[in-house]
């Protein structure tokens, strides 16, 4: 850990003045991204060129991007796209950095050059003078270890969360911006659809007493929480990457105790929270909650230290051999690898563990219904989870376990859970390509 003099309180403009052309600047992750500093840096756009800004999962508009539409002053790079980052990428103003999320701290420590300036949002200093990362532990500790200048922008709305690497002592910080008393960005999901409920029902029936859950982003995983809340399942544990509001519902319904966990017994573990104010209030100074760096939550060997891990994630396209493309639409980048593959592998390695890839069988584009189960992936699509790692695949038409199945068996199984209007065409193409041999 870096050490130095006690931090100086400065204005956002003074902090932005520390950035020089050609610098690497890191904004950090999610709700931990700064606002006052971002605005002040944008106001210097005419003075700067080629400032490279690294970020992930932006949940609020970034002034450096809106102020510099031609990307002459600022280059925006992201470890994981939010909807906002995706729109910036579509406009040619953002780039993606491939990464398994759990490896992020190692990237900073082993492969990246020192960061010239780090600015992240934290809670105000506590009684001991520490600055808490709050809802975004992720890779911030490792990032700060590699920083030449560390700036924190304090925010009264940031929860203070327990965890071994969830805060910084004052002597690890160079400068402090006393940020405005603005609310944290909230991430709200639409109500689950009928398809979401049908998929969730098939997953929920596989969850046993004492299972340890990882719940991903989206309507389907949250629908699973709704069903489990009404079920009789008991003593669930939580060891997850992202904390979502559905998990808070499970806790308040008494379904989560954590007493069967192999590590962090009786505690909910996550690396970042993104949801409503209700969720942020729940984790604030809650001794049953623990925020950990992402190499603790996401590395498969850590995940597997809990028994009966159930990993629930979305994918957007799967081919008839079981390859899951979850982050792109052709060459258009949508989200990121995140922790999907690592939780799939961690769940498999867990005693009694199960992983689920869920998807609606179809989607609509320009008025035409298309299948998400395809003979071959869309050209340019990135494989997020290889066929060898995929366990359960679930659509509204059923669930199949691909472990141990031959290529022809996989093709038939996946055709069987595709939308009925596409099954005949899928089988015809599977036979034409040799995935299902003649006479089989």
Virtual CA dihedral for 382, 340, 191, 185, nearest 10 degrees?
Answer: -100
Do 22 and 128 belong to one domain? yes
Do 223 and 151 belong to one domain? no
Strands in 308-353 per DSSP E = 309-314, 317-319, 324-325, 328-329, 332-333
> What residue numbers bound the domain in which 275 lies?
194-432
In a domain, 185, yes or no: no
pLDDT at res. 216: 81
Do 171 and 201 belong to one domain? no
Ordered DSSP codes for 51-86: EEEEEE---S--HHHHT-TT-SSEEEEESS--HHHH
What is the number of structural domains in the chain? Answer: 2
In a domain, 174, yes or no: yes
Do 306 and 410 belong to one domain? yes
pLDDT digit string (tens) for 153-163? 999 999 999 99
Do 220 and 282 belong to one domain? yes
* CA 359/CA 363 separation, integer angstroms: 10
The pTM score is: 0.95
Do 136 and 27 belong to one domain? yes
Where among 178, 206, 227 does a domain terminate?
A: 178
pLDDT at res. 220: 82
Whether 387 contacts 410, CB under 8 Å: yes
Do 398 and 318 belong to one domain? yes
CATH of the domain at 399: 3.40.1080.20
Low-confidence ranges of the chain (pLDDT < 50): 1-4
* CA 117/CA 16 separation, integer angstroms: 9
- Of 145, 153, 205, 241, catalytic: 241
Q: Is 241 a catalytic residue?
A: yes
Nearest to 179 by CA among 126, 123, 132, 135: 123
CATH of the domain at 123: 3.40.1080.10
* CA 100/CA 336 separation, integer angstroms: 9
In a domain, 187, yes or no: no
Do 154 and 232 belong to one domain? no
In a domain, 114, yes or no: yes
Do 167 and 260 belong to one domain? no
């Amino acid at each position: 850990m870096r050490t130095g003099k006690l931090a100086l309180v400065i204005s956002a403009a003074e902090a932005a003045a520390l950035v020089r052309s050609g610098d690497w600047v890191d904004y950090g992750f999610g709700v931990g991204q700064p606002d006052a500093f971002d605005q002040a840096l944008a106001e210097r756009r005419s003075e700067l060129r080629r400032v490279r800004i690294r970020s992930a999962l932006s949940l609020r508009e970034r002034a450096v991007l809106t102020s510099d539409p031609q990307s002459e002053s600022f280059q925006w790079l992201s470890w994981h796209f939010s909807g906002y980052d995706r729109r910036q990428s579509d406009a040619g103003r953002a780039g993606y950095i491939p990464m398994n999320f759990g490896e992020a701290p190692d990237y900073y420590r082993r492969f990246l050059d020192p960061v010239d300036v780090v600015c992240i949002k934290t809670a105000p200093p506590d009684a001991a003078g520490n600055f808490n990362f709050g809802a975004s532990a992720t890779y911030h500790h490792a990032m700060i270890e590699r920083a030449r200048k560390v700036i924190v922008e304090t925010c009264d709305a940031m929860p203070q969360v327990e965890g071994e690497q969830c805060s910084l002592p004052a002597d690890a910080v160079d400068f402090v911006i006393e940020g405005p008393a603005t609310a944290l960005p909230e991430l709200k999901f639409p109500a689950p659809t009928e398809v979401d409920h049908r998929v969730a029902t098939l997953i929920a029936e596989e969850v046993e007493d004492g299972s340890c859950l990882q719940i991903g982003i989206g309507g389907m995983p949250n629908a699973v929480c709704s069903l489990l809340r009404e079920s009789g399942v008991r003593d669930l544990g939580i060891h997850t990457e992202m904390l979502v509001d559905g998990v808070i519902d499970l806790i308040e319904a008494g379904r989560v105790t954590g007493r069967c966990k192999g590590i962090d017994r009786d505690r909910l573990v996550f690396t970042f929270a993104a949801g409503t104010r209700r969720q942020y209030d729940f984790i604030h100074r809650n001794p049953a909650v623990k925020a950990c760096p992402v190499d603790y939550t996401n590395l498969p060997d850590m995940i597997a230290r809990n028994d009966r891990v159930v990993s629930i994630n979305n994918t957007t396209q799967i081919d008839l051999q079981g390859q899951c493309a979850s982050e792109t639409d052709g060459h258009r980048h949508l989200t990121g690898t995140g922790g999907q593959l690592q939780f799939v592998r961690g769940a498999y390695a867990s005693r009694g563990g199960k992983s689920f890839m869920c998807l609606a069988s179809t989607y609509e584009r320009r008025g035409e219904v298309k299948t998400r189960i395809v003979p071959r992936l869309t050209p340019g699509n990135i494989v997020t989870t290889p066929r060898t790692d995929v366990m359960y695949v679930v659509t509204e038409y059923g669930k199949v376990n691909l472990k141990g199945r031959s290529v022809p068996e996989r093709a038939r199984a996946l055709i069987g859970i595709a939308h009925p209007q596409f099954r005949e065409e899928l089988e015809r193409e599977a036979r034409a390509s040799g995935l299902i041999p003649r006479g089989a």
